[in-house]
Amino acid sequence: MLKKYEVLQEIKSSKIVAVIRGRSAEEACEISRACIRGGIKAIEVTFTTPNSLRVLQKLSNEDVHALIGAGTVLDAETARLAIMNGAAFVVSPNFSKEICETCNLYSVPYLPGCFTITEMVSALRAGADVIKVFPGSVAGPDYIKSVKGPLPNINLMPTGGVGLDNVVRWLDEGSFAVGVGSVLTKAMNGEDYKVVEENARKFVEKVSVLSGSAV
């Protein structure tokens, strides 16, 4: 298992976390693999996916060269199960002190969903490493800069409302990384996962200019 700081550094370096919501475990695995083939290095398998633990196990045991994390984690028990089944990081739509304590116990990064400054400060005090700004579609890119004014040390990852047209702006405003979800599977017809791979590659190419790296 990668050390905590290595996981955080990988997320920061790759800039994109693919949020995977599959209609089945098999579909979630295929979408995840397509994202990885497209160059995305961090995959968040949500617990709204049927048999999500099996997806975590399968992807974590494959030589996929990507971080596999768990999303939509609502309680500490689920967080522990996710970690035991290979999750390299844990994401929630809300902040939970109990989940934070569990993740800290196992030295796994916790990314809780917060929207207000009060929620964010509570999460920071509990030891959260990165704050998921959710829903990002309501906040907008300007919100990142506004929050980092009084809280310059905070690491923010907007999720929701991130698209090809604004991903660079989200990052330019100071985001640690961005969460990208349904836009990756947009226009996917049946099992045409090539579309997912192409969408993923477009995002990777878009953000690569920020670090000057070649794809």
Q: Which residues are catalytic?
A: 44, 132
Query: For the chain, how big is the Rg over CA atoms in Å?
Result: 16
Question: Rounded to an integer, what is the distance from CA 205 to the centroid of its chain?
Answer: 18
**In contact, 19 and 28? CB cutoff 8 Å:** no
Report the SS3 class of residue 103. Answer: helix
Cα–Cα nearest to 12, from 184, 201, 210, 198: 210
Task: Please report, in angstroms and rounded to a whole number, the separation of the first and last CA atoms in the chain.
Answer: 26
Q: Given the structure tokens 């829903």, which residue do they identify?
A: 135
Rounded CA gap, 178 and 159, in Å?
6
